[in-house]
């Protein structure tokens, strides 16, 4: 019987807030387990500032602005129950929004991470009904892991 594995690479390219890699690993593993997904997972999580996020967003999506989180599935990895991709998070944006909303930066970063993971699992937020389901699931998962952050309506 094959044992499940999660290969997780965490890269921190920003200086706005220290990243607790242990908490990131636990959150990723917990979300994948809760979603009953990712019998095998190969993920890269990259923490950046707004300048780098804007460059990435412009290069890959042709949007000339920074955003909070982007997720990209790895091409050529389509085996059932495998989650493969990259999540890029702007910690600078998380810091600004957390301060504005009165929440912790860690909680805001956790929200972005869960959001990116749910996209890689297959959730979509383009349609209003789908977005509502996705945001509800984000809230449930974050609450289960002890985070309290505001969610979009």
Give the DSSP letter string of 15-26: -SS---HHHHHH
Answer yes or no: is 119 a known binding residue. yes
Query: Does 77 count as an annotated binding residue?
Result: no
Asked if 32 contacts 38 with a C-beta cutoff of 8 angstroms, the reply is yes
Residue 125 marked ligand-binding: yes
- Residue 15 Cα distances to 2, 50, 53, 55, angstroms: 39, 11, 14, 17
Structure tokens at 127: 């349609």
| Nearest CA among 35, 32, 30, 37 for reference residue 145 | 30
Annotated binding site: 115, 119, 125
Annotated binding site for Zn(2+): 115, 119, 125
């Amino acid at each position: 019987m094959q044992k499940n594995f999660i290969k997780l690479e965490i890269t921190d390219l920003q200086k706005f807030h220290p990243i607790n890699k242990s908490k990131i690993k636990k959150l990723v593993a917990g979300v994948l387990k809760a979603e009953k997904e990712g019998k095998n997972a190969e993920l890269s999580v990259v923490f950046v500032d707004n300048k780098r996020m804007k460059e990435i967003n412009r290069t890959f999506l042709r949007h000339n602005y920074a955003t909070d989180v982007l997720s990209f599935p790895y091409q050529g990895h389509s085996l059932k129950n495998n989650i493969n991709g990259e999540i890029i998070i702007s910690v600078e944006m998380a810091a600004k929004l957390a301060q504005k909303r009165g929440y912790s930066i860690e909680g805001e970063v956790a929200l972005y991470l869960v959001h990116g993971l749910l996209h890689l699992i297959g959730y979509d937020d383009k349609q209003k009904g789908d977005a509502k389901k996705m945001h509800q699931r984000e809230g449930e998962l974050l609450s289960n892991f002890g985070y309290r952050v505001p969610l979009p309506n």
